[in-house]
Amino acid sequence: MTKRSPVLCLFVISGFCFFTGVSSLFHIIELLKNYEDAKSYCREMYTDLATVRNIADMNDLVTAAASASATIVRAWIGLETGAVWKWHWTLPEHQLVYSNWREGEPQIKNQDACAAMDQHGKWFESDCEDKRGFVCHGNGGSIGHFFVANLTSWRAAQNHCRGLSSDLVSISSAEVNEAVLRVSLSQKVWIGLFKDPWMWSDGSSSSFRDWKPGQPNYRKDQNCVAAVFKDGGKWNDLKCQGARKFVCQGVSPLTSTTTQTTTETTTTTQLSTTTTTEVTSTTTQTTTQKTTTVQMSTSTTTIETTPTTQPNTTTLTTELITPNTTYTAYSTLSTTLSNVTTDTISASTTPMGTSAQNTTQLSYPTSTETSPSSPAGNLILIQQSMTWIEAMGYCREHHNDLVHITTKDIQEKVAEKAKNATSPYVWLGIRYTCNFDFWFWTKSTSGCYQNWAPGEGTDGTYDCGVTGAIQATGGQQWVGLPETEKLNFICSTCPD
């Protein structure tokens, strides 16, 4: 039995490669398997065992279990013991970028621990069962951080805050630390920092936890986690060898598909500013046991300067028929004539290796140039530090564009150039859209090569105004940074 929620996955539209986070599309699998076999099954049939990132995901998980054909008591999720004990904030999107430990803290012990703030604003490690007051995080509205004087354990304090649609406070700066100290009335209080060894099977960095009371108890060989649905889905650490039902995440490949592809062309001469262009590509129709791939066919269409009017488009209609469901996706192509314009694309959200599932409307500024990705070798490092927007403008004025990395070969060339940078990171021509939650290259660049650092890219959580950079040293992977930071950058140049 499957519970489906809205999903956006990696997909390609009109030459753009978009990277989005994994959705909370959960599948209750009513087979009995041990943890490792369950994980292998999910990776083969879907994406991975389920990762639960927040309360909303938790609610989806419980709803999916309630919709199963049989009663689900316990089911494996994708949480397992890792090799390293790490500190996390309770709010999943908060990273540990600021700390204010008092001297001698934190302690170097591989055991469950929680953090508290003393009367001077310094943090110290404590047994999570100790009793003290606590500070809950503000809800983002009129209510700021608030102090609760009830003396309770760390987990009971967290449950109290969650009951108020909040969580224990996360501290990201000295200013927030000072605010928490003031609201706590200079008492020792719990804050939302905890240490544990747990990691998600898919490599996600989410710190969300929803344990049963008294769990995890870390008994011998209890290195895997199940959701206990008779207890509201709360989690229990268990021995991995036990055979249980389990929860997968991600989109399932279709077991059999029949594909019908048609191309329609609409031409209009009613608009004052139009031109005719030929859009050419090859039609390839491949039917396999699990996937169907369809590419666009040749067509001629009239394009206007503002390519959001329906008559000036070429529409690709793809119909995917399965034994139970028919999916229809429409792709609307448009070509711009001005330097920068807004394309409106109506296209199926096509997960990599699967068929179309949904229809999404996207509007985002794009460049008119549709040249292929930068040839390896035609690169120049600019050892001046600029914002991302300034860097892109510089590259387009003096060279071609900020570099796009679409293959491993280009990655290696860019990494070699970046070693000579005078900044710790180097701007790339990749940008994040917070409206639609995906990464895209700034030109219509084909290819979906990725080299994100752990916790970045599809695994990251970002505000608006974030753009991509490569590490100048170390692993030289990609990270998301505020576009206002000033960094060196690499331009692609036109071939000689």
Position 204 scores a pLDDT of 84
Residue 300 pLDDT greater than 90, yes or no: no
Half-sphere exposure of 77 (CA within 13 A, CB side): 33
Which phi and psi (to 5°) does residue 94 adopt? Answer: -95, 125
Reference 238, options 223, 259, 256; nearest CA is 223
Position 457 scores a pLDDT of 87
Position 150 scores a pLDDT of 92
Question: Which of the four pLDDT bands, split at 50, 70 and 90, describes residue 277?
Answer: very low
Question: Which of the four pLDDT bands, split at 50, 70 and 90, describes residue 334?
Answer: very low
Position 139 scores a pLDDT of 64
The whole-number average pLDDT for the span 405-413 is 91
pLDDT per residue over 434-464, tens digit each? 777 788 887 755 567 899 998 898 888 888 8
Within 10 Å of residue 397's Cβ, how many Cβ atoms? 8
- The residue among 194 and 465 whose pLDDT is bigger is 194
Least-confidence region, from 91-100, 116-125, 215-224: 91-100
- The residue among 423 and 357 whose pLDDT is bigger is 423
Contacts of 215 (CB under 8 A, 6+ apart): 234, 235, 236, 237
The whole-number average pLDDT for the span 23-31 is 81
The whole-number average pLDDT for the span 322-342 is 33
Domain assignments of the chain as residue spans, ordered by start: 11-84+198-249, 85-197, 258-367, 379-492
- The residue among 299 and 423 whose pLDDT is bigger is 423
Residue 194 pLDDT greater than 60, yes or no: yes
Q: Report which DSSP code applies to 67.
A: T
Residue 432 pLDDT greater than 70, yes or no: yes
The whole-number average pLDDT for the span 56-73 is 87
Residue 40 pLDDT greater than 90, yes or no: yes
Position 335 scores a pLDDT of 32
Reference 34, options 74, 67, 65; nearest CA is 74
Residue 265 pLDDT greater than 70, yes or no: no
The whole-number average pLDDT for the span 25-37 is 94
Q: Which CATH class is domain 11-84+198-249?
A: alpha beta
Within 10 Å of residue 474's Cβ, how many Cβ atoms? 8
Residue 298 pLDDT greater than 90, yes or no: no
Return the CATH number of the domain spanning residue range 379-492: 3.10.100.10
The whole-number average pLDDT for the span 48-77 is 90
Within 10 Å of residue 387's Cβ, how many Cβ atoms? 17
Give CA–CA dist 49/361, Å, rounded.
30
Domains 11-84+198-249 and 379-492 are alike in CATH topology: yes
Residue 168 pLDDT greater than 80, yes or no: yes
pLDDT per residue over 371-381, tens digit each? 333 344 589 99
Contacts of 178 (CB under 8 A, 6+ apart): 121
Helix (H) or strand (E) holding 275: strand 274-279
Position 367 scores a pLDDT of 33
| DSSP letters spanning 78-147 | EEEEEEEEEEEESSTT-------BPTT-S---SS-EEEEE-TTS-EEEE-TTS-EEEEEPP-SSS---EE
Question: Which of the four pLDDT bands, split at 50, 70 and 90, describes residue 493?
Answer: confident
Residue 478 pLDDT greater than 50, yes or no: yes
Joined tokens for residue 323? 């034994």
